[in-house]
C-alpha cells in the first residue's frame, strides 16, 4: 500500500508506484485529498491498476477503511508531509490514509519531504522521534535543492532508494543489526571537585542516545552507558525494549562500566564526552572561601585514562570500535585533518568527526558528521537530525564489518 500526501514530491511517487508494480507487487494507492491537487486520480488508478479513493465512505460494504491496512504486507507513505507525520504521531484518522495506517500491522516506511525549517521544527523533530520509537522506518530526507530555490535537508529520497529500503523492511531487513551486541556510551562525565561542585561539559547525550536507540530499532541488543544526559533524552531510551541503561558519573566510572560490558560486545561506540582530567584531591566537604587563599585557588588535575584507546588495545577479534571526535576548527587545519590525526592516535575502526563551537553541536537537535575509517578515508557523511546521523553511522559500521568479514 502506498500512501501519498500533499507535497510537490508526489510526482516522484508515481515513479515509486511504477517501480513496485514492475517488480511484481500488487499496489493500492491511498492519496490524501491534498495529494490529488498535485497528481490526479486517473494517474494513480492507471499506474497502480486498482481503483483509488481518498474517502472512508466509498466501498463501505468491503469495510475499505480498515481492509486495505489489514491486507497490506507493507505500507509506504511517500511523500510524507510534516502534517501527515504529525497526524500519524497523534493517530488521527480523518481520511482513508489515516484509518489505513491505524489498521495496519505491516511495516510502515515513511519518506518525509518538506522545507528545511519544517523538518527542523521541534514539533517535527518530536514527531519523528515518536514514530521511530514505534518502529516506523524513516527514509531520508536528503540534503538538496527544494522547491522555490531553497536548499537543505528536506528533499524526498529518490524512489529507487525508498523502494529498496521498503522491500528490505518487508523482508525483516529493518532488523539488519539483529543478533549484534552493542555498547554505546553517551553524555558528559562530571568530575567532582567537592560534594556540590564538578567539572563538566556541554554534552546533552542526544547524539549517543540516538545511536543507541537506532541500534535497538535495527534489532541489536544494546547497553547504553549513560553519563550525564539531559532530562527527557534518557527517558525514551529507558523505555525501549532491547536496550539496557547503565549509569555512570565520572570518567573512571564510565571506563569501568564500558569495560565490564565490552567483553561480550561486537560493536562499541564511544559517543560520550569524557573528561580528559579529574581533580587530584576531591574535597570530602564543601570547599569554603574561608579556608582558601585570598584572590583565587588552583586546582590540580590528573589525566584520565583514554577509554577508547584502552578498548582498542584490548579489542578482540571481530569487535568494531567507534569513536567520536568533537573538533573546533582553527589554526588553518581542516576538521578532517584533525579528525584524521585523532583516528591515527586512537586506532579506532571508525571515527565520526563533527564540528562543535559555542553555538554548534551541543544541545541542538541537528548535527553534521564526517565518518572516517582507520586509515583516514572518508566512509560517509551526514548532515541532519541526530537520528539521521545515527542511522548513517550504523550504515557505515555495517559496511566496515561486512568488508572486514570478507577479507578474513
Catalytic residues: 201
For position 274 contacting ligand CTP by CB under 6 A, the verdict is yes
Stretch that binds ligand CTP, among 53-61, 77-85, 267-275, 281-289 (CB under 6 A): 267-275
Closest distance of CB 216 from ligand CTP, Å: 20
Nearer to ligand CTP, 267 or 325 (CB): 325
Residues in contact with 293: Cβ distance below 8 Å, sequence separation at least 6, in sequence order: none
**The one segment of 17-25, 44-52, 78-86, 271-279 that binds ligand CTP by CB under 6 A:** 271-279
**Residues numbered 222-261 forming contacts with ligand CTP, rule: CB under 6 A:** 251
Burial 93-109 (b: 16+ CB within 10 A, else e): bebbbbbbbebbebbbb
Residue 44 touches ligand CTP, criterion: CB under 6 A: no
CA dist 302 and 198 (Å) reads 14
Q: List residues bridging with 351 in a β-sheet.
A: 323, 372
Residues 284-323 that bind ligand CTP (CB under 6 A): 304, 306-308, 323
- Are 304 and 332 in contact by the 8 Å Cβ rule? The answer is no
CB of 307 to ligand CTP, least distance (A): 3
Rank residues 95 and 266 by Cβ distance to ligand CTP and give the closer one: 266
Q: Is 272 in the site for ligand CTP (CB under 6 A)?
A: yes
Interior/surface letters 229-260, b for 16+ CB within 10 angstroms, e for the rest: beeebbebbeebebbbbbebbbbbbbbebbbe
Cα 217–chain centre separation: 10
| C-alpha dihedral, 378 to 251 to 301 to 293, nearest 10° | 130
Question: Pick from 162, 161, 211, 167: which is nearest to 186 by CA?
Answer: 211
Tell whether residue 276 is a contact of ligand CTP (CB under 6 A).
Answer: yes
Q: Does 326 help bind ligand CTP (rule: CB under 6 A)?
A: yes
- Which residue, 159 or 208, is less far from ligand CTP as judged by CB? 208
Q: Which residues contact 21 (CB under 8 A, 6 or more apart)?
A: 27, 47, 48, 49
Q: What is the DSSP letter of 363?
A: S
Residue count, binding to ligand CTP (CB under 6 A): 13
How near is the Cβ of 272 to ligand CTP at its closest, in Å?
5
Question: In b/e form, how buried is each residue of 190-201, taking b as 16+ CB within 10 angstroms?
Answer: bbbbeeeebbbb
C-alpha 222/C-alpha 2 separation (Å) is: 32
Question: Could you tell me if 251 and 274 are in contact, meaning their C-beta atoms sit under 8 angstroms apart?
Answer: yes
Options 50-58, 176-184, 190-198, 324-332: segment touching ligand CTP (CB under 6 A): 324-332
Q: Which residue, 156 or 274, is less far from ligand CTP as judged by CB?
A: 274
> Measured between alpha carbons, how far is 312 from 307 in angstroms, rounded to an integer?
9
Least distance from ligand CTP to the Cβ atom of residue 180, Å: 19
Residue with smaller CB distance to ligand CTP, 87 or 206: 206
Q: Return the number of the residue (72 or 183) whose C-beta is nearest ligand CTP.
A: 183
Position among 20, 114, 139, 325 found at the interface with ligand CTP (CB under 6 A): 325
Q: Give min distance, CB of 341 to ligand CTP, in A.
A: 9
Q: Considering the complex, what minimum distance in angstroms separates the CB of residue 263 from ligand CTP?
A: 17
Which residues make up the interface to ligand CTP (CB under 6 A)? Answer: 251, 270, 272, 274, 276, 304, 306-308, 323-326
Amino acid at each position: 500500500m502506498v500512501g501519498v500526501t500533499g507535497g510537490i514530491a508526489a510526482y516522484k511517487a508515481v515513479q515509486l508506484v511504477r517501480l513496485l508494480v514492475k517488480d511484481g507487487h500488487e499496489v493500492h494507492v491511498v492519496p490524501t485529498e491534498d495529494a490529488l491537487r498535485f497528481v490526479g486520480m486517473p494517474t494513480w488508478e492507471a499506474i497502480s491498476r486498482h481503483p483509488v479513493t481518498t474517502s472512508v465512505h466509498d466501498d463501505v460494504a468491503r469495510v475499505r477503511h480498515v481492509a486495505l491496512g489489514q491486507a497490506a504486507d507493507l505500507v509506504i507513505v511517500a511523500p510524507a508531509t510534516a502534517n501527515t507525520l504529525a497526524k500519524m504521531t497523534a493517530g488521527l484518522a480523518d481520511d482513508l490514509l489515516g484509518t489505513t495506517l491505524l489498521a495496519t500491522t505491516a511495516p510502515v516506511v515513511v519518506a518525509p519531504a518538506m522545507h528545511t525549517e519544517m523538518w527542523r521544527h521541534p514539533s517535527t523533530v518530536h514527531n519523528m522521534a515518536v514514530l521511530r520509537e514505534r518502529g516506523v522506518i524513516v527514509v531520508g530526507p536528503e540534503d538538496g535543492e527544494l522547491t522555490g530555490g531553497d536548499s537543505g535537508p528536506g528533499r524526498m529520497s529518490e524512489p529507487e532508494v525508498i523502494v529498496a529500503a521498503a522491500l528490505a523492511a518487508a523482508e525483516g531487513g529493518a532488523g539488519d543489526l539483529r543478533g549484534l551486541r552493542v555498547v554505546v556510551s553517551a553524555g558528559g562525565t562530571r568530575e567532582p571537585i567537592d560534594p556540590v561542585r564538578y567539572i563538566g561539559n556541554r554534552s546533552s547525550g542526544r547524539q549517543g542516545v540516538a545511536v543507541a536507540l537506532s541500534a535497538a530499532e535495527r534489532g541489536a541488543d544494546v547497553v547504553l552507558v549513560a553519563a550525564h544526559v539531559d532530562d527527557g533524552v534518557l527517558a525514551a531510551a529507558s523505555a525501549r525494549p532491547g536496550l539496557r541503561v547503565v549509569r555512570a558519573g565520572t570518567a573512571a566510572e564510565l571506563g569501568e562500566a564500558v569495560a565490564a560490558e565490552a567483553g561480550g560486545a561486537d560493536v562499541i561506540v564511544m559517543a560520550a564526552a569524557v573528561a580528559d582530567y579529574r581533580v587530584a584531591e576531591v574535597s570530602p566537604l564543601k570547599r569554603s572561601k574561608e579556608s582558601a587563599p585570598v584572590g583565587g585557588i588552583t586546582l590540580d588535575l590528573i589525566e584520565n585514562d583514554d577509554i577508547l584507546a584502552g578498548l582498542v588495545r584490548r579489542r578482540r577479534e571481530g569487535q568494531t570500535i567507534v569513536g567520536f571526535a568533537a573538533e573546533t576548527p582553527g589554526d588553518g587545519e581542516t576538521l578532517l585533518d584533525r579528525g584524521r590525526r585523532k583516528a591515527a592516535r586512537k586506532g579506532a575502526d571508525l571515527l565520526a568527526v563533527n564540528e562543535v563551537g559555542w553555538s554548534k553541536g551541543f544541545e541542538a537537535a541537528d548535527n553534521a558528521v564526517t565518518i572516517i575509517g582507520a586509515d583516514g578515508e572518508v566512509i560517509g557523511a551526514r548532515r541532519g537530525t541526530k537520528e539521521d546521523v545515527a542511522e548513517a553511522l550504523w550504515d557505515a559500521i555495517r559496511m566496515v564489518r561486512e568488508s572486514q568479514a570478507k577479507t578474513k
